[in-house]
Chain A
Amino acid sequence: MHPESPRQAVSFAKRFRSPYIAGGTWLQPSCERDRQWPVQLVALNPDWPEFRGIRETEEGLSIGALTTLDELARHPLMALYLPQLNGLIKRVAGPGVRHLGTVGGNLFAGGDLSALALALDTEVDLVGSKGSNRRPLTRWLPDRQGGDLLRSVSLPDSRGWRVSLEKLGYRERFSPTRATVACVHDGEKVQLAVCGEGGPGRLTVTEAMLRDEGIRELTDLAIVVDSELETLGWHDTRLRLAVRRMLESGLMELTRDV
Chain B
Amino acid sequence: MTSENLQGAVRKLMTLDGNSVRNATSKMDLAPRIEGGLAYATDQRHLPGLLHGAILRSTCAHALITRVDTSRALNMPGVHAVIKADDVPGLNRFGIVIRDQPVFCDDRVRYEGDAIAAVAADTPEQARAALDAIEVDYQPLPVVSDASLAEQQTAIHSSHEEHGGSNLLVRETLECGDIDDALSRCTVIAEHHYQTPRQMHVFMETEGGVAIPDGKGGVLFRVGCQSGHRDVEQLADILGVAREKVAVESMATGGAFGGKDELTVQPAAGLLALKTGRPVMIHLDRFESCRAGIKRHPVSVKMTTGCDAAGRLLAHKVEAVLDTGAYASLGPAVLENYLDHATAPLYRIEAYRVSGRLVYTNNGVCGAFRGFGGNQATFAVESQLDELARGLGIEPATLRRINLRSPGDAGSRNQTVRWTAPPADVLAAAVASPLWSRGDTDNGRWLTGTGMAMGAQGNGLGDGLPDSGGGRISLSPAGRICVEFGFTDYGQNIVESITRSVCNGVGCREADVEVVLGSSRGPDSGPTSASRSTVLVHGVLASILPRWMDAVRGHAARVSGQPEKGLEFGPGGIFSDGRQVLSYRELAESTNPGGMTANASQDFPVAPDSEHPVGRYLQLQIATVARVEVDRITGRVRVTDLHHVTAAGPVIYPPGYLGQIEGAAVMGQGMTLTEDMTAHEGRYQADNLDQYLIPTFHDAPLQRVDVLDNTPEDDPYPVRGVGELGIEAVAPAITAAIEAATGVRVRRLPVDPGDLLVAMAAQEQNL
Contacts and interface: CB of A to CB of B under 8 A. Distances in A.
Contacts of A241: 754, 757-758, 761
Query: Interface centre among A33, A172, A248, A249, by most B CB within 10 Å?
Result: A172
Contact of A171 (B287, B632, B635, B674): B674
A245 B699 contact: no
B610 interface: no
A242 B699 contact: no
A250 to B, nearest CB: 10
A242 B635 CA distance: 8
A175 B699 CA distance: 11
Contacts of B697: 173
B54 to A, nearest CB: 12
Given A33-B287, A171-B699, A236 B754 contact: yes
B688 A171 contact: no
Contacts of B752: 238
Contact of A172 (B633, B634, B696, B753): B696
A171 B687 CA distance: 18
Contacts of A94: 696
Interface in A31-51: 32-33, 35
A174 B753 contact: no
Contacts of A32: 287, 688
Nearest to B690: A29
Given A171-B695, A173-B698, A242 B754 contact: yes
A215 interface: no
A105 B118 CA distance: 38
A168 B287 contact: no
A239 interface: yes
B714 to A, nearest CB: 48
A16 interface: no
B56 to A, nearest CB: 13
Contact of B633 (A33, A236, A238, A242): A242
A49 to B, nearest CB: 34
A124 interface: no
Interface string A233-258: 00010110110011011000000000
A246 B634 contact: yes
26 contacts: A29-B688, A32-B287, A35-B128, A94-B696, A170-B674, A170-B693, A171-B673, A171-B674, A171-B695, A171-B696, A171-B699, A172-B638, A172-B699, A174-B696, A175-B693, A238-B755, A241-B757, A241-B758, A241-B761, A242-B634, A242-B635, A242-B753, A245-B632, A245-B633, A248-B633, A249-B445
B688 A245 contact: no
Interface string B666-688: 00000001100000000000011
B678 to A, nearest CB: 13
Contacts of A168: 634, 636
A176 interface: yes
Nearest to B636: A168
A245 B128 CA distance: 49
Given A29-B688, A33-B688, A238-B754, 6 more contacts: A171-B696, A176-B690, A238-B752, A242-B753, A245-B633, A246-B633
Contacts of B687: 33
Contacts of B128: 35
B722 to A, nearest CB: 26
A94 to B, nearest CB: 8
A241 B764 CA distance: 14
